[in-house]
Amino acid sequence: MTTPYIMLVDDEVPFVETMSKRLVKRGLKVIAADSGNDALVKLDQDSKVDVIILDVKMPGMDGIETLQEIKKRHPIKEVIMLTGHATVETAIEGMKLGAFDYLMKPCDLDILMSKVQEAFKKKHEHESKIDKARIDKLVLTRGY
Amino acid sequence: MNKDKHKKYYQSLTRNMILTAIIVSFTPMLLVICILLQQFRVSYHEKTYAHLSELVQKHKQNIDSFLNEKLANIRFLAVNNSLETLNDNEFLQEKLSTLRRDYGNVFVDLGIVDEKGVQLAYAGPYGLENAEYSDADWFKKARRIDSFISDVFLGLRGYPHFIVAVKKNEAGRDFLVRATIDFMAFNSLVQNLRVGKTGYAFILNREGAFQTNPAMEYQPSHRGYEFFWTAVEKTKNKILITRWQDDVGMENLYAVGSLKDGQWLLIVKQLTADAFSDLKRMFNIAVIIFLIGGLGIVVMAFYTSRRMVRRIRRADQDKENMNEQIIETGKMASIGELAAGIAHEINNPVAIMVEEAGWIGDLLEEEEFAQGENLEEFNRALKQINTQGKRCKEITHKLLSFARKTDATLKDVQLNDIVTEIVSLSAQMAKYNKVSIETQLQKTLPYITISPSEMQQVLLNLINNALDAMEKTGGTIQVSTKISEVEAEHIVIIVEDDGPGIPEANLLRIFDPFFTTKPVGKGTGLGLSICYGIINKMGGKIDVHSTIGKGTRFRIWIPIQK
């Protein structure tokens, strides 16, 4: 298991910057995006991202829409929702749409770290299963 | 002041309503009664007059024909017999007997009187042969005309009678054939004529003297009867009906017809009060009905008006209260929106500040700062910034959740799904409090049409309350759903904890808005009152049972729509 590769998506640039520095300092690889669109473009360019931390409330494409788009294009990647105001509805909606979990801003960095680790672990397990399935399939087709 | 004005307003409203009710009810009643009475009066008068008129007419004819018949008898006697035959007591006696046989005792006697007034022959009970009539009033009148009927007079014997006489001329000499008619026989013709209780008949001559024995008449004044004479002459043989006040001041109804070629008057007299006694009775009944009805109307008008005004007053009061509530709610809503805006705006800067502080903290851990003199102070300050940031977060969070509008759109939902969602959402929080949440859901629940967000809010509130209650002790929350056995067509949701319970004094007020037992700043006291409102709106109900030390059970019934 390698270090998680994180994408931070928020329209508040100072927040993203500081958060990035802090996460990098804790040994994570971080890439920032300042809007939903930006995030999607960057995800297309760089497919190694493991976990996306996504602000719910953003101008333009909002968090929920971005989440849906990400899950469509990259179903294996885990998304943690970050909300300014945790309403039950958005949280539930996000979870229904496949978000791993949600956190409230401002959040404790340790909690964020542990969530990221959990998400990364889950993603890793998924990937292993997929790989194993592929190998099994390969084995079957090859007839060993 | 305001209260006074209100009181006056309601008083005048009551007055107006009473007046309107009375006028509106009285007017038609009065009109109907008056019109009917008037119509009845007119037709009753007509009927009474017609009856009297007919009565008089009939008797007039009767009497006239009685008199004419007697006259014809005598004339027959005079014409068919010569004086020689007539002038014989025995012959007269025989004729008298024949007449008496045919007509009863009407004829008293028969006599032949010569031109000088001496009775030549006589048959009858009084032995009046050679009686002298030359000075008698009737004789003087009878001599001048062919046939004559006298007025009633006392005559030689002092007994009331009248005379029928026919003039006969033989050999140049005039003779009179006269008969005395029994007064009693004639009188009975009239005396038997009675109308009502007080009505009776009598006959008057020109001089205003009675020709019959009136049933109860005292001598009337001439002035009165002169009036009848002139009136009857004017009406020309028709029956006159008039009212006249008699000498003792009683108003009487008179029906008058002329008799005997206008020499006599047949008068039927009846007290007006008696003639119209039915009318009077009718009038009395109408008055009684009017009075009773009027009393009823007045009482009802008072009663219903007051009751209605009381209701209006209550409705006004309710409306006023409602208005106040609406204004209050509006104020709360706008404050809520403002708070939400502020909370949202503040949240992001606070988040950045906290992050920056966190970053400084991270940097301080690097070696060059580790030996710094004031490292301790820096760390304390950063920790303080962090703490205050979290406090800000809590405040904004509360503001937002207070102002949040729940989505009230209705959807067909499976209640168990909502319960599962909320339970899983609360599970994390429960873990911190050492509380486990168990569910026991009946799988065959029907779909119901409710607002899912509202239902979520209700369940979240109940579970959060239970969690708060068991913060220190820990325990179990049991959430179950099933088709209610108590209420038909209802689903029941039970949220039950084994926490400390709610004291009985608080149980009654638990659904009141702003009632809270949490420390200041921790609870708004709105949670359960919002739940109550939501469940009520859904047409369901919510109740609570609690035992100190054993736990609390909330039950929610939601109706199943067909």
DSSP track, B107-158: EEEEEEEETTSBEEEEESTT--TT-B-TT-HHHHHHHHSSEEEPPPB-TTTT
Q: What's the average model confidence in pLDDT over B464-485?
A: 89
For residue B220, what pLDDT band results from cuts at 50, 70 and 90? Answer: low
Q: pLDDT digit string (tens) for B323-376?
A: 877 776 667 667 666 777 777 778 888 888 888 888 888 888 877 777 777 888
* Arithmetic mean of pLDDT over chain B: 83
B441 φψ region: left (φ > 0), alpha (ψ -120 to 50), beta (else): beta
DSSP code of B210? B
Mean pLDDT computed over B247-270: 80
Read off the pLDDT of each residue in B489-500 and give the average, rounded to a whole number: 92
pLDDT tens track for B316-326: 988 888 887 77
Residues B53 and B239: beta-carbon distance below 8 Å: yes
Q: Hey, how many other C-beta atoms are within 10 angstroms of the C-beta on B336?
A: 16
**What integer pLDDT is reported at residue B219 of this predicted model?**
53
Last residue of a domain, one of B376, B400, B424: B400
Please tell me whether residues B426 and B293 are part of one structural domain: no
* H helical segments located in B365-414: 367-370, 375-403
Please check whether residue B483 is in contact with residue B442, taking contact to mean a CB–CB distance below 8 angstroms: yes
B117: left (phi over 0), alpha (psi -120 to 50) or beta: left
Contact B92, B192 (CB under 8 A): no
| 3-class SS letters over B146-177 | CEEECCCECCCCCCCEEEEEEEEEECCEEEEE
Which of B31-35, B122-126, B219-223 holds the top average pLDDT? B31-35
User: What own/partner pairs with CB < 8 Å and gap ≥ 24 does A137-142 have?
Assistant: none
Predicted pLDDT of residue A85 = 63
Whether residue B357 lies within 8 A of chain A, CB to CB, comes out as: no
Q: Which residue in this structure is represented by tokens 């369901």?
A: B540
- As for how many domains chain B has, the answer is 2
Does the residue B230 lie in any domain? no
Q: Does A19 touch chain B (CB under 8 A)?
A: yes
Find the domain containing B477 and state its range: 406-559
Domain of A113, in residue numbers: 5-142
Q: Which of residues 56-115 of A touch B (CB under 8 A)?
A: 57, 84-89, 91-92, 104-106, 109
pLDDT digits (tens, 9 = 90+) for B381-422: 988 998 888 878 777 766 666 555 556 678 888 999 889 888
Instruction: Mark A63-89 as b/e (b = at least 16 C-beta within 10 Å).
Output: bbebbebbbeebeebbbbbbbbbbebe
Same domain? For B366 and B447 the reply is: no
User: Which residue of A26, A56, A88 is the best one to mutate when testing the B interface, meaning the one whose CB has the most B CBs within 10 A?
Assistant: A88
Q: What is the pLDDT of residue A79?
A: 92
Query: What integer is the mean pLDDT of B12-38?
Result: 90
Name which of B352, B359, B397 is nearest A85 (Cβ-Cβ): B397
Specify whether B359 is located in the same domain as B421: no
**Averaged pLDDT, A62-73:** 89
Q: Is residue B202 part of a domain?
A: no
Name the amino acid, one letter, at B243: R
Residue B15 clears pLDDT 60, i.e. is over it: yes
* Closest C-alpha among B451, B357, B147, B70 to residue A21: B357
Phi and psi at B242, nearest 5°, equal: -150, 165
Q: Which two tokens stand for residue B505?
A: 């004094």
- Residue B251, pLDDT > 90, answer no
In a domain, B240, yes or no: no
B555 has a pLDDT exceeding 90: yes
Average of per-residue pLDDT across B159-164: 82
Q: What is the pLDDT of residue B256?
A: 84
Domain boundary among B384, B400, B416: B400
Q: Which helix (H) or strand (E) is A81 found in, with range?
A: strand A78-83
Diameter of chain A by CA atoms?
Answer: 56
For B484-542, the DSSP string reads -SSSTTEEEEEEEE-SS---HHHHTTTTSTT---SPTTT--S-HHHHHHHHHHHTT-EE
Question: What are the CB-based long-range contacts (under 8 Å, 24+) for B5-8?
Answer: none
Do B442 and B541 fall into the same domain?
Answer: yes
Provide the shortest C-alpha distance from residue A22 to chain B (in Å). 6
The Cα–Cα gap between B541 and B550 comes to 24
Tell me what the pLDDT averaged over chain A comes to: 86
Indicate whether B528 pLDDT > 90. Answer: no
Name chain B contacts of A89, Cβ cutoff 8 Å.
Answer: 407, 453, 456
On whether both B520 and B485 belong to a single domain, the answer is: yes
Question: Which is more confident, B307 or B425?
Answer: B307
CATH number where B527 lies? 3.30.565.10
CA B283 → CA A142, B37, B205, B279, distances in Å?
Answer: 125, 7, 39, 6
Report the C-alpha gap between B415 and B535 in whole angstroms.
14
| Lowest-pLDDT choice from B29-38, B461-470, B516-525 | B516-525
Q: How far is CA B477 from CA B17, B76, B440, B550, in A?
A: 61, 138, 11, 12
Q: Are B402 and B335 in contact (CB under 8 A)?
A: no
The ipTM of this complex is: 0.77
Residue A1 distance to chain B (closest CA, Å): 25
Element (H, E) at A11: none
Domain contains B136: no
Contact residues, chain A, for B344 at CB < 8 Å = 57, 84-85
Same domain, B393 and B455: no
The pLDDT score that the predictor gives to residue B379 is 87
Q: How far apart are the C-alpha atoms of B314 and B6, rounded to whole Å?
A: 12
Q: Are the Cβ atoms of B460 and A88 closer than 8 angstroms?
A: yes
Q: Are residues B380 and B418 in the same domain?
A: no
The tokens describing B341, both together, are 């805006």
HSE of B123 in the Cβ direction (CA atoms, 13 Å)? 19
* Mean pLDDT confidence for B114-121: 83
Mean pLDDT of B253-276: 82
DSSP state of A61: S
Residue B299 pLDDT greater than 90, yes or no: yes
pLDDT of residue B477: 93
> In chain A, how many domains are there?
1
Comparing CA positions, the residue from B201, B263, B211, B258 lying closest to residue B231 is B258
B389 in a domain, yes or no? yes
Q: Which two tokens stand for residue B485?
A: 């056995």
Domain boundary among B400, B416, B445: B400
Determine the residue among A13, A15, A101, A114 to mutate to test chain B binding: the one whose Cβ has the most chain B Cβ atoms within 10 Å.
A15
Cβ of B354 within 8 Å of Cβ of A106? The answer is yes
Q: Which CATH number covers residue A57?
A: 3.40.50.2300
Residue-wise pLDDT for A121-135, tens only, equals 988 898 889 888 888
Provide the edge-to-edge strand list for the sheet that holds B161-170.
Answer: B119-123, B107-114, B173-182, B161-170, B147-149
Name the residue with tokens 């958005």: A90
